[in-house]
Amino acid sequence: MIEIYTLWLRQVKRYLRSKSRIIGSLGQPILFLLALGYGFGPIFAKAGQGNYIQFLAPGVISMSILFTAVFSGIEIIWDRQFGFLKETLVAPVSRFKIMIGRTLGGATVAIFQGIIVLLISFLAGFRIYNWALFPLAFVFMALIALLFTALGTAIASVLQDMQGFQLIMNFLVMPLFFLSGSLFPPSGLPSALDTIIKLNPLAYGVDGLHGTLGQMSHLGLVTDFWVLGIFVLALIGIGSFLFSRIQV
């Protein structure tokens, strides 16, 4: 257990010490909240959908969790050659424990980011609809964080260098975000988009946040929880398997 704690602690310390990275990664969420939030606000209201900032904030929070989580996982590629990872692969610790420690650490960091963006969204005018449900919001943030840290780990275990990283960001992570019901409500859409969104685990996370931070969820919190939960377990399984096969 102490090995898992060691690796978790390391991720958290690294995060807390890189002030410039923390601030830098807040740039995009702030931009989205302000530019899109206030920009699309009037049109959204006109379409009878209410306050766009209220709709957008959970999506932007999910975005920052998504990106931070995937990046934590992808760090493995660098770490493998030049960092602590090589040291851990040679230590008398099972790969599984190493992977769990890293994933928990990366997910913790992603949740911190999500919380910071939540606080910023308050400044942009976001208001929590039902404070009784607020604690559940952390559950959904945690599930999103775990899922995508595990995904990042799984991908990074297979990539040899940072070239593939660009491909992954543009062809996997961005689409996952854009088609998750974060920027626009997932209703009344052409069937192709609708299908993709239904298959996108992030959509269930975003919906969960809509339900716990905002006014309502489209799919129901229970559905969201179970879908996310299953995806998390599956990805931790896949991630550990791929991680255990890393050869340095």
Partner 1 sequence: MENIIEIKNLVKKYGDFTAVNNVSFEVKKGEIFAFLGPNGAGKTTTIKMLTTLLHPTSGDIKIDGNDPRHNQNKVRESFGIVFQDPSLDDELTAYENMDMHGMLYGVKRKDRKERTEQLLKFVELWDRRDSLVKQFSGGMKRRLEIARGFMHKPKILFLDEPTIGLDPQTRNHIWSYLKKLNEEEGLTVFLTTHHMEEADKVSSRIAIIDHGNIISQGTPEELKSKTGKETLEEAFLALTGSSIREEQANSQDALRSQRRMWRGGR
Fill in the per-residue mask, 52 to 91: x = in contact with partner 1 (CB under 8 A), - = not in contact.
Answer: --------------------------x--xxxxxxxxxxx
* Of residues 150-169, those binding partner 1 (CB under 8 A): 160-162
What gap in Å lies between CA 210 and CA 221, rounded to an integer? 9
Q: Is 2 in the site for partner 1 (CB under 8 A)?
A: yes
Number of residues that bind partner 1 (CB under 8 A): 28
Count of other CB atoms within 10 angstroms of residue 117: 24
* Stretch in the footprint of partner 1 (CB under 8 A) among 5-13, 108-116, 123-131, 196-204: 5-13
For the CB of residue 2, give the shortest distance to partner 1 in the complex, in Å: 5
What gap in Å lies between CA 208 and CA 174, rounded to an integer? 20
User: Could you tell me if 236 and 146 are in contact, meaning their C-beta atoms sit under 8 angstroms apart?
Assistant: yes
* Of residues 94-153, those binding partner 1 (CB under 8 A): none
Taking the least distance from each CB to partner 1, the nearer of 199 and 248 is: 248
Taking the least distance from each CB to partner 1, the nearer of 19 and 46 is: 19
Of the candidate residues 27, 46, 48, 92, the single one contacting partner 1 (CB under 8 A): 92
For the CB of residue 114, give the shortest distance to partner 1 in the complex, in Å: 21
Q: Is 19 in the site for partner 1 (CB under 8 A)?
A: no
Taking the least distance from each CB to partner 1, the nearer of 10 and 218 is: 10
Q: Is 237 in the site for partner 1 (CB under 8 A)?
A: no
Which residues make Cβ contacts (< 8 Å) with residue 21, sequence separation at least 6? 15
The residue type of 81 is Q
* Stretch in the footprint of partner 1 (CB under 8 A) among 4-12, 204-212, 219-227, 230-238: 4-12
For the CB of residue 180, give the shortest distance to partner 1 in the complex, in Å: 31
Taking the least distance from each CB to partner 1, the nearer of 5 and 226 is: 5
Residue ranges that bind partner 1, judged by CB under 8 A: 2-3, 5-6, 10, 13-14, 17-18, 78, 81-93, 160-162, 247-248
